[in-house]
Chains A and B, each alone.
Chain A
Amino acid sequence: MKLLTHNMLTCAIPDCVKKDAGFPLVITEVEELENEDNEFNKNFLVRMLPRLEYAALVDAAAACGVEDMPEEMPEDAEEQEEFLQALHGVLNNIDVVKGTMKCENCGREYPITNKVPHMLLNEDEV
């Protein structure tokens, strides 16, 4: 699971959705991580800027050992080559192979195994 993907995932428990409290899922455990070397694509990154939940990304990056992301996204982020490179690094290169995410509202945990986050609920949770 790339941190870009993580930025899109929310808790699936209906009550959390109702309260608008199912985001972000906090990465509580990282058992295995890969650092990949994917191609930097500026067009794509700039396109994604307004859609990112940046605070959630900073926390997710920290959970994966990257502590030096700026706390706020620079206003002219699309012009800041260095920032975009760093952003690319956390969004597209960090890959959580095995770990756990947790909803802070309800405590529901979502496992990540073989890079795949599992968002399915059990029958008794709905």
Chain B
Amino acid sequence: MKRKELEIALEQVDVFQDPKIHREQYPTGGTLASHMLFDICETYDDIDDKFVLDLGCGCGVLAIGASIMGAGRVIAADIDSEALDIAAQNLVDYELDTDIDLVQFDVVQFLHGKTMEEMLSEMEGSFTSSSSNSRRRDNRGKQGRKSNKGKGNRKGSKSSTSDGIDFNSLILDEEQFKEYAGKSIRNGMRRKTFDTVIMNPPFGTRNKGIDMLFLQAAFELSKGTVYSLHKSSTREFIRKRATEWGANCDVMAQMNYSLPKSYSFHKEKVKVIEVDLWRFDVSEIE
């Protein structure tokens, strides 16, 4: 198949009718998706006959593309049941409903054993409640981060904007990340079972840090490689974190991501942002 053919095929995928702002539901366009999948396939051979996960699949564009490109099996996971409904219909339309399995799955819950909704309300509470402020001070007073094990390091949960929630405080540090090394079970899925995780995660523009939580979950779920799109402005931060977590990483390409005017707060008709297509080799991470 030629890349252009894949692009045309993926342009037909139905996208969100009523995107949710807080989930940053932007569709992955056919041009971007086809370039991404072709690179992964032709340069690195990480799709053909592989076990592939599309994490935060939305309407399923990347999963459908991976399946067309010859993946052995594809699982597509998303938290949102409306997105999964659209994805399910897309799979039927593409006659891929027997090739791709959909799973309703929460990345935050996978990492922290709490649901995203619960985490959001808890974090919102911690910005206003004085009792949790003092708890945070207590934590700061303790040496090291062991006291926070499994709960995420909460020292950064100081800033919130009306735009969204700051997830940065939940990003595991090196030590917390290693806590799960070598274990097989996590909240909802076994670790290290997929060959390749491909994703277009939320960029963290509404919920700061959610992009890093996706990356972290992908590192735990893949035994081989992770391919992911992130805003170019976060490049050095991502490189630092990914290296700390034990991955070898490279920016494969910088692309323009056209966000259509899908939300009323967008002033421009199409907003173009620069994104990096990352390749993370996570095979060295236990």
Chain A residues close to B by CB (< 8 Å) = 1-2, 4-5, 7-14, 16-17, 20, 22-23, 36, 38, 41, 43-44, 47-48, 51, 53, 92, 95, 114-123, 126
Contacts and interface: CB of A to CB of B under 8 A. Distances in A.
B88 interface: yes
B31 interface: no
B158 to A, nearest CB: 23
A20 B190 CA distance: 11
Given A12-B187, A23-B190, A17 B113 contact: yes
B115 A122 contact: yes
B98 A95 contact: yes
A119 B104 CA distance: 6
Given A22-B187, A44-B72, 11 more contacts: A5-B101, A10-B190, A22-B185, A38-B99, A115-B88, A119-B104, A119-B189, A120-B109, A121-B106, A123-B115, A126-B114
Contacts of A7: 190
B188 A119 contact: yes
Interface residues of B, number: 38
A12 B109 contact: yes
B113 A14 contact: yes
B190 to A, nearest CB: 5
A41 B49 contact: yes
B79 interface: yes
Nearest to A20: B185
Contact of B72 (A10, A22, A47, A117): A47
Contact of A117 (B79, B97, B99, B103): B103
Interface in B100-118: 101-106, 109-110, 113-115, 117-118
Nearest to B113: A14
B49 A119 contact: no
A43 B49 contact: yes
